[in-house]
Amino acid sequence: MIPLKASPDQAPDSGAGDLPRHVAIIMDGNGRWAKARRLPRVAGHRRGVEAVRRIVRKAGEIGLEVLTLYAFSSENWRRPVEEVSDLMGLLRHFIRADLNEIAEAGVRIRVIGDYRAFQDDVVRLIDDAIARTAANRGLTLVIALNYGSQNEIARVARQLAERARAGEIEPAAIDAEAITAELDTSDLPPVDLLIRTSGERRLSNFLLWQSAYAELLFVDTLWPDFGEAELLEALGDFSRRERRFGGL
């Protein structure tokens, strides 16, 4: 059994049996779900949004602290223009249709990545969602939009190098903690459990630094079919693992 709540004073590196503080999910398999049913890819994305709703609700119910979802990578611009347009339309619909419920449930929305590259109306919707939920103290829902981890780390490296050149910091002071403090996720706990659906077994440029000591779980379930039972099974798997963080 996994606990329904994480203790507020629980150490970030506690061992087996604990509810993870930060769960990250690579939501993969929408296109294959649609193809298997001879449907257009957008149908898979629509069903994927329904899976997001299920998982966000359940994550809030069981007391997860942070849930990060990989919604649109910086590489997704390479997809056909029609598919990118469909994804933006679904993002608009999700915010308009679900923001009230999310806000009333105490969920705080965060976004990582350069979402300001999107169309102006999408940016305004995202800004409004962030502002409306900023004071909430329940689940922190982090949505990765136009996000790429290598770009994030490179940007931080440039910022720290510029500060060192300006004499603001010593080069010797640039350590892991200094880099962590400049990341988009600087105020969030590191990833404890990273899940990827659809059977693929790669990280796809997602939270590479933040997942340095994460437990990785690759499941065959396609994202549109991922539900409460699958989430609880993943958390149960996590609770049975022994995390050593380089120790014995």
**Any binding-site annotation on 96?**
no
Q: What mean pLDDT comes out for the span 13-29?
A: 80
- Residue labelled with tokens 């077994």: 201
Is residue 132 in a domain?
Answer: yes
**Any binding-site annotation on 203?**
yes
**Domain count of the fold of the chain:** 1
Per-residue confidence (pLDDT) for residue 248, from 0 to 100: 63
Q: How far apart are CA 90 and CA 227, in angstroms?
A: 19
Q: Which are the catalytic amino acids?
A: 28, 76
Residue 5 confidence (pLDDT) above 90: no
Is the separation of the CB atoms in 45 and 118 below 8 Å? no
Is residue 233 in a domain?
Answer: yes
Is residue 175 in a domain?
Answer: no
Is residue 57 in a domain?
Answer: yes
Residue 11 confidence (pLDDT) above 50: no
Is residue 55 in a domain?
Answer: yes
**CB neighbour list of residue 199: distance below 8 Å, 6 or more residues apart:** 29, 218, 219, 220
Distances (CA, A) of 156 to 168, 174, 180, 210, 223: 15, 11, 9, 13, 31
Q: How far apart are CA 107 and CA 141, in angstroms?
A: 7
Q: How far apart are CA 91 and CA 45, in angstroms?
A: 10
Q: How far apart are CA 243 and CA 154, in angstroms?
A: 29
Is residue 131 in a domain?
Answer: yes
Confidence of residue 15 (pLDDT cuts 50, 70, 90): very low
Structural domain boundaries enclosing 78: 22-158+191-239
CATH number at residue 58: 3.40.1180.10
Per-residue confidence (pLDDT) for residue 18, from 0 to 100: 81
> Which residues on neighbouring strands pair with residue 216, listed in sequence order?
194
Q: How far apart are CA 196 and CA 100, in angstroms?
A: 28
Q: How far apart are CA 24 and CA 2, in angstroms?
A: 18
User: Quick one: how far is CA 172 from the chain centroid?
Assistant: 32
Q: How far apart are CA 155 and CA 10, in angstroms?
A: 32
**Any binding-site annotation on 77?**
yes
Q: Torsion angle of alpha carbons 194, 196, 201, 203, nearest 10°?
A: -60
pTM, 2 dp: 0.90
**Any binding-site annotation on 28?**
yes
**Any binding-site annotation on 44?**
no
Residue 39 confidence (pLDDT) above 80: yes
Q: How far apart are CA 156 and CA 150, in angstroms?
A: 10
Is residue 90 in a domain?
Answer: yes
| Burial (CB count <10 Å: 0-12, 13-18, 19+), residue 40 | middle
Is residue 11 in a domain?
Answer: no
154-175 pLDDT, tens per residue?
999 999 999 999 999 999 999 9
First to last CA, the chain: 25
48-100 pLDDT, tens per residue?
999 999 999 999 999 999 999 999 999 999 999 999 999 999 999 999 999 99
Among 12-21, 123-132, 146-155, 221-230, the range scoring the smallest mean pLDDT is 12-21
Q: What mean pLDDT comes out for the span 7-34?
A: 74
> Which residues on neighbouring strands pair with residue 215, listed in sequence order?
193
Q: How far apart are CA 139 and CA 248, in angstroms?
A: 33
